[in-house]
Amino acid sequence: DGASGFAETGDYKLRLLDLSKESEIPHDDEGGPMSNGVNHPGKVNVGDLDIWNFSSSPGEPVIIRFAETTDGTAWFTPRLVVYAPDQSVVGIHSGSSVAQVAFVAEQEGTYQVVVGDGASGVAETGNYSLRLATSPDDYTIPDDDEGGDMVFGDDHLGSIKRGDLDIWTLHATTSERVIVRLAENDDATAWFTPFFWLYDPDGTLVDTAAGSATAGLEFTATQTGPYRLIVADGASGFAE
């Protein structure tokens, strides 16, 4: 007890994480392996730390978003920490509604993702969705989400939820000139900013694009194969 007089009493829960070992996930908690493209739901309780993991190889781009969904307390602040296989910190970020860490993997092996509350006092609670997007690994499209193979000339419709990452694939051959445009529709929130990353078949970033209403990119394919397009909100805070 830290109260004046040190005379108060109360039940508590004590948590310990050892990043050098595989963590056991309590039956009433969330965590474990993450899948590319999947939305991983969970809840941060008072003082909670949920630990997730994924595998990556050197040169692979990785984007992780940790978003508050519903029923959070007023000051719940998503906080995301990513650790490399050698337990060094890859990135830390806190946001009012969404936290993001994006990087290119430098080590082979299992990366650990620890999520919790980042507010002063670390005592806020909230439900969340944790998303992972990588390239060029295979990915899964959730039943309630959008993504997949694109067809030249077609309109591909989708919806960006808070902290969402939609993964699409376009197929191009060397020397083909390709134009991609991402435009918001009439149902967007006020500050929604269309944004996407484009990666070539070996996972190297071709470019990014953003715009207040439309994001566009024109490029000449330097390789033949599947190019990966990851669509998201690019507004400050990533929460539109």
* The pairing of beta strand 49-56 with beta strand 32-33: parallel
Q: By three-state DSSP, how is residue 126 classified?
A: strand
CA atoms of 62 and 101, how far apart (whole Å): 8
C-alpha distances out from residue 230 to 3, 97, 186, 204, 215, Å: 49, 20, 21, 13, 12
pLDDT tens, N- to C-terminus, the chain (240 residues)? 999 999 999 999 888 888 877 778 888 889 999 999 999 999 999 999 999 999 999 999 999 999 999 777 888 999 999 999 999 999 999 999 999 999 999 999 999 999 999 998 888 999 999 999 999 999 999 998 999 999 999 999 999 999 999 999 999 999 999 999 999 987 667 789 999 999 999 999 999 999 999 999 999 999 999 999 999 999 988 877
Q: What pLDDT is attached to residue 195? A: 97
For the chain, how are helix, strand and coil distributed in percent, rounded to 5? 0, 45, 55
CA atoms of 120 and 43, how far apart (whole Å): 18
Helices then strands, counting H and E runs in the chain, come out as 0, 16
* Predicted TM-score (pTM) of this structure: 0.92
Q: What pLDDT is attached to residue 105? A: 98
CA atoms of 205 and 203, how far apart (whole Å): 6
Q: What pLDDT is attached to residue 28? A: 83
Residue 41, Cβ density class (10 Å: 0-12 exposed, 13-18 middle, ≥19 buried): exposed
